[in-house]
Amino acid sequence: MNAPRFDLWRDPWISVQDAQGQVRPLGLGDALRKAHTVRAVVEPSPLAIVGIHRLLVAILQDALAPQSDADLVALWWAGCVPEEPLAAFAAQYSARFDLFSPTAPFLQSADLGLTPTRDDRVKTVLYLHPDWPAATEVTHYRHGVDTEAALCPACAAAGLVAQPAFATSGGAGIRPSINGVPPIYVLPQGETLFHSLVASLTTPAYQPTAADRDEDQAWWRRCPIVGKSAVVERVGYLHSLTFAARQVRLHPTPSEGQPCSRCGAVGEWLVRTMVYNMGESRPKDAPWWRDPFVAYRQNAKGEPVPLRPQAGRAIWRDYGALLLAPPPSGSGASTAPGTIPVRVLDQVDAVTVRLGRLSDEVLHVRCIGLRTDGKAKIFEWIDQGLDVPASLLHGTQAGFAVQQGLAFAEEVGRTLRRIWRRHFGGERWERHASLGQRLIDDYWQALADPFQHHALLWGEVTDEDAEAAATAAWARTVIAVAERAFLAASAQLGDAAATLRQRIQAETHCRAALITQRKEFFHE
């Protein structure tokens, strides 16, 4: 039997959708060469989408090494990935993308064997995919026995490339990856995969200030050995995109006709087990790492903390913090305090200004995150697309108006909760506590689509009058949605005499409070 081999550079494993809507797999090399003919990467797991996107970005960053906005503008106008630098990269590094190489396996530690030894702490390969239950992990929507699971090389690779972005804490001594508890990642989306990747490239000025610029050890440039629980003092930007947070070694075995547990494909090799130990981490006192795809908010100590998924909170509610520039000091604009937006969007803004023709267009982004308890327990992933007018990226007054509009919606939400608790709180109404939470959930859900519409309207404003009109329209929408949600929740309490009296009092209170909030917002 042949030795196990799976070449991520040449063998097809990344599912992409072409211009005709057909889905087909490509290797890394073809995905980059044909990126201008591909709409997007298609994957069941949004975590794998992030991992693949960041890997493709890292390869392009290394192959093209853009140093200025002008370099990115020239690349945009070229319309495709230049063949010569990509071929040069492949000639030098393509051998480093073999998943089962005995001497330099991709994103794995070469000092561990392809077959487990007695001293190895062997685990199920399902640890690479949080949506699959493994050991004592939470079962989400898939049920099965982890010891019977087996992944094809493509599915194993999809989970492996997600580790640099999403490796979480996992007990004593098991630390998360370079960004700590997994944050929300913001990925620019273009008409083609090429445009999405170009919009994700950064020049040195937009990369982390803590990045080592002298020795940037992307995976294909470094020694293929990952130290167990090793602390790395120096990390470059490309190194961060391929950060070896886990010491891994996959154990390929003949498939014998068994299909992949994840995709159903039948091939020559399957992976059932692996070594999966704590890998590399930065020192605890290392300077702040500002990932270009992550937004931050300062905590009470003034320390930047990544925006992370929160239970019951839709991503669009953090639209301002994620996507919009803060107001310049002295502008007098009121926004969420201490927000630090996604750095790659600052780069996009600089490039669109140079391109000129994109100043009135809409940028699409995909926001993906993994909600955990801050440790080993995983609850859910989130995946939401947002549209942001390019004009709002400039830090305009309209952008500040968007953030103020969101703040107004948050205040109204707190008002709804306060009034509900005042009238329907306490032991007597305890059975209706879930109805109060449903009221808040319905309120935010009903605002999701209107907000996207209003955000586009804010992006079209050209003067103060138009901005005021857009803001007024949003405020009216918020008030109307809030009142409808409250009345709908109240109606579910029934119409018994005592209940009806309490309902009328609560509804009257709600209407009066909403009118007051509207007047305060408009300084009437």
* CB atoms near residue 307 (< 10 Å): 23
Dist CA 274 CA 159 (whole Å): 12
- Which residues, 6+ apart, have CB-to-CB distance to 330 below 8 Å? none
Strand pairing class (230-231; 280-281)? parallel
Query: CA–CA distance from 521 to each of 331, 401, 412, 448 (Å)?
Result: 19, 12, 11, 21
Torsion, CA 344, CA 346, CA 351, CA 356, rounded to 10:
140
Q: What is the pLDDT of residue 332?
A: 46
Q: What is the pLDDT of residue 333?
A: 46
What region does 146 belong to: left with phi over 0, alpha with psi -120 to 50, or beta? Answer: alpha
CB 97 within 8 A of CB 161: no
CB 132 within 8 A of CB 142: yes
Dist CA 363 CA 23 (whole Å): 24
* CB atoms near residue 364 (< 10 Å): 17
- Which residues, 6+ apart, have CB-to-CB distance to 402 below 8 Å? 319, 320, 324, 392, 455, 458
Burial grade of 407 (CB within 10 A; 0-12, 13-18, 19 or more): middle
| Tokens 């009092």 -> residue | 505
Q: Whats the size of the chain, residue-wise?
A: 524
CB 359 within 8 A of CB 427: no
Find the helix or strand (DSSP H, E) in which 248 lies.
strand 246-254
Torsion, CA 230, CA 235, CA 239, CA 240, rounded to 10:
90
Q: How far apart are the first and last CA of the chain?
A: 81
Q: What is the pLDDT of residue 334?
A: 45
Q: What is the pLDDT of residue 428?
A: 64
Dist CA 60 CA 116 (whole Å): 35
Edge-first strand order for the sheet with 378-389 is 185-189, 362-372, 378-389
Q: What is the pLDDT of residue 459?
A: 84
Domains of the chain, with CATH numbers? 14-281 (no CATH), 397-524 (1.10.132.100)
Dist CA 112 CA 166 (whole Å): 23
Dist CA 520 CA 474 (whole Å): 15
CB 63 within 8 A of CB 86: yes
| Tokens 């077959």 -> residue | 115
What region does 9 belong to: left with phi over 0, alpha with psi -120 to 50, or beta? Answer: alpha
Token duo for residue 45 = 């797991």
Query: CA–CA distance from 145 to each of 105, 148, 156 (Å)?
Result: 28, 6, 17
Dist CA 122 CA 202 (whole Å): 39
Burial grade of 214 (CB within 10 A; 0-12, 13-18, 19 or more): exposed
Edge-first strand order for the sheet with 246-254 is 122-124, 269-278, 246-254
Q: What is the pLDDT of residue 426?
A: 75
Nearest CA-CA partner of 408 in 320, 342, 324: 320
Dist CA 473 CA 23 (whole Å): 42
CB 510 within 8 A of CB 431: no
| φ, ψ for residue 383, nearest 5 deg | -155, 110
**Could you say which DSSP state residue 431 is in?**
G
Q: What is the pLDDT of residue 335?
A: 46
**10-residue block means of pLDDT along the chain (524 residues)?**
92 96 97 98 97 99 97 95 98 98 98 94 93 64 68 98 94 90 97 97 97 94 97 97 98 96 96 97 96 94 94 94 72 59 92 70 94 89 93 78 93 96 78 86 97 90 85 95 96 86 93 94 79
Q: What is the pLDDT of residue 241?
A: 98
Dist CA 10 CA 27 (whole Å): 5
